[in-house]
Amino acid sequence: MFALIALASADPSVLSSSSLPTAPEQELQVPEWTAPVVNDAVVGGAPSAPGSWPATAAVIETGYGVVCTGTLIAPTVVMTAAHCVTPYVPTHVRLNSVDGSQGGEYIAVASVTAHPDYLANETSDIAVIQLQSPATT
């Protein structure tokens, strides 16, 4: 049993570590731990059919490939995460494509604006991509 003692004394010798009760030393037993197996497969899912997600945008940097996804929120505006455009510089988006590499609409990026308060993966992780031409999906 432990007790909490509050003392109103300016004398530090009133309560010292030598005057506190002690417990017998015991070896700490830590059970063996193994990391869980992580499987990146979708469980119980099925491949999406082409054209299933018209507002989904693959955010692409030429020479690098798909860096992230985003969502078409207006004919010329894609919303994505700021960490997808910093340090990457998206050059195109591909809309309505199952894998980002083919099909759908391939549209050039006019400008990219990350939230002004974005702090690397901590806060305000949002950005807007302005497209050079409107999407037709």
Residue pointed to by tokens 């919303």: 79
Query: Is 79 buried (19+), middle (13-18) or exposed (0-12) by CB count in 10 A?
Result: middle
> Cα–Cα distance between 85 and 55 in angstroms, integer?
19
C-alpha distances (whole Å) from 69 to each of 9, 66, 90 are 63, 8, 11
Region 3-9 average pLDDT: 47
What confidence tens digit (pLDDT) does each residue in 49-77 have? Answer: 878 889 999 999 998 899 999 999 999 99
User: What pLDDT shows up at residue 100?
Assistant: 82
* Separation CA 92–CA 65 (nearest Å): 10
Q: Give the separation between CA 24 and CA 114, rounded to whole angstroms.
A: 58
| Nearby residues of 6 by Cβ (< 8 Å), 6 or more positions away | none
User: In the chain, what are the domains?
Assistant: 56-131 (2.40.10.10)
Q: Is the whole model's pTM more than 0.85, yes or no?
A: no
pLDDT in tens, 111-123: 999 999 998 868 8
